[in-house]
Amino acid sequence: LQAMRKLRDPVMVVITLQMEQTIAEITKTIRAEDLPAGKTTVDLLRTMLCQEDQFQNKPCIVVMNYEYVNKLSGADTDKVLVFKWTPDTSSKIRQKMVYSSAWEGFKTM
């Protein structure tokens, strides 16, 4: 998170848990130069979570650097956003419980 805040790169990181061992691992890292032309991090997040088989039905935590223009000042700015993706359609109760406990630890970072 600190590198993401300071360097503004990578623009997105996806973290999943191995249920058997309850180990968190970074599954996917997307750097600024990896973004397709004309696509934003929000477009990429939508595509990744709704269309890619790897993440569509699997709970994960996504850390994203969201860049936008401040409407009042017109200045370019960015925020680090954290999403907890737990799809209702396929997540098992145990997965949801493990992700909830991992989320609590993640919020204190």
pLDDT digits (tens, 9 = 90+) for 4-31: 666 666 677 777 766 666 677 788 888 8
76-85 and 12-18 as β-strands: parallel, antiparallel, unpaired?
A: unpaired
Token pair listed for 91:
């997540």
Neighbouring CB atoms inside 10 A of 12's CB total: 22
pLDDT digits (tens, 9 = 90+) for 37-70: 888 888 888 887 777 677 766 778 888 888 888 8
Phi, psi of 104 (to 5 degrees): -60, -45
